[in-house]
Amino acid sequence: AQKITQTQPGMFVQEKEAVTLDCTYDTSDPSYGLFWYKQPSSGEMIFLIYQGSYDQQNATEGRYSLNFQKARKSANLVISASQLGDSAMYFCAMREGLGTGGFKTIFGAGTRLFVKA
């Protein structure tokens, strides 16, 4: 069964430092996509970054990069040069694709990041 695990309920990071948020997943589908979303205290869900199962290179979007280790089934989010505005809940998600014929999406429980000044 597909599953997403985020083992860090909460994380602290000093402003301007880098932080890694962990995500491991489990799926038998060879075709899947991994996503990270940010949820600030205002509640909206903000898309950050995407990694496809067949992508050879790790995804990057500005200060966000995804450390994709397919054999270990991990998709960790790295935020460089943390800012106070990065304080939020972060969710890892996976969508399975062609193998299942559907587009079920599952989310991890989330990691709350606190950036200290």
Partner 1 sequence: EAQVTQNPRYLITVTGKKLTVTCSQNMNHEYMSWYRQDPGLGLRQIYYSMNVEVTDKGDVPEGYKVSRKEKRNFPLILESPSPNQTSLYFCASSLVGGVNTEAFFGQGTRLTVV
Residues that bind partner 1 (CB under 8 A): 4, 6, 9, 31-33, 35, 37, 43-45, 47, 50, 52-53, 91, 93, 95-98, 102-110
Based on CB atoms, which residue is closest to partner 1, 30 or 116? 30
Rounded Cα distance, 25 and 64, in Å: 19
Q: Mapped to the 3 state alphabet, what secondary structure does 14-57 carry?
A: ECCCCEEECCEEECCCCCEEEEEEEECCCCCCEEEEEEECCCCC
Residue 37: φ, ψ to 5°: -125, 150
Q: How far is the CB of 57 from partner 1 (least distance, A)?
A: 14
Question: 7 vs 14, which CB is nearer to partner 1?
Answer: 7
Closest CB 86 distance from partner 1, rounded Å? 19
When the beta carbons of 47 and 114 are compared against partner 1, the nearer one is 47
Least CB distance from residue 24 to partner 1, whole Å?
Answer: 14
**Closer CB to partner 1, residue 14 or residue 99?**
99
Tell me the C-alpha to C-alpha distance, in Å, between residue 53 and each of 3, 24, 88, 97.
15, 13, 26, 10
Min CB(17)–partner 1 separation in Å: 26
